[in-house]
Amino acid sequence: MNQTAQILTTLITTLKTDLINSLQSKGITSSQTIEQIKVINNGDQQLQIPGYLQIVEKGRGPTSKNPIPGNPPMIQRIQQWCREKGISDKAAWAIKTKIDKVGYAGKPGTLSQPLGDENINNRLNQATELIAHELLTQILNSINI
């Protein structure tokens, strides 16, 4: 991996860390969620996050009739979260039932702060300075200065 690709991987990894820190500061993450947040390096640098985190950010309404289960199902995510918080499985069912009936208000800023323009621009500025320095070094080395 060349220096520029390493800088970009570091940028994406830093955004991943920012996102995990945001989730942890709001007390809404589990090890399962953290494992599902991945940096993908297949020629492109990508940050992959589980789709249900949009619900954490924006909330959701009550469950409709005949819903299509998520992957993993909502109850499994709630049970995992409860286990990590030391809350009983019985309480997980109560939480799920309440969400089914009234929805979930969401926690604004959970995604929009670490993945918002201000934070991304700050992180990009740091990365572009490193890339510019690397390119300048390569140019100077190629002309033997």
Q: Which residues pair with 47 in a beta bridge?
A: 39
What pLDDT score does 112 carry? Answer: 93
Spatial CA neighbour of 33 closest among 41, 42, 24, 43: 24
* pLDDT exceeds 90 at position 85: no
DSSP code of residue 47: E
Give the integer Cα–Cα distance in Å for 10 and 43.
15
Give the integer Cα–Cα distance in Å for 59 and 54.
8
pTM for the model stands at: 0.76
Q: What are phi and psi of 91, to 5 degrees?
A: -65, -30
CB 56 within 8 A of CB 106: yes
Q: Which residues pair with 41 in a beta bridge?
A: 45
What pLDDT score does 1 carry? Answer: 57
For the chain, give the mean pLDDT. 88
Task: Collapse the DSSP code of 87 into the 3-class scheme (helix H, G, I; strand E, B; otherwise coil) and give the result.
Answer: coil
| 105 token code pair | 């208000």
**Is pLDDT larger for residue 128 or for residue 42?**
128
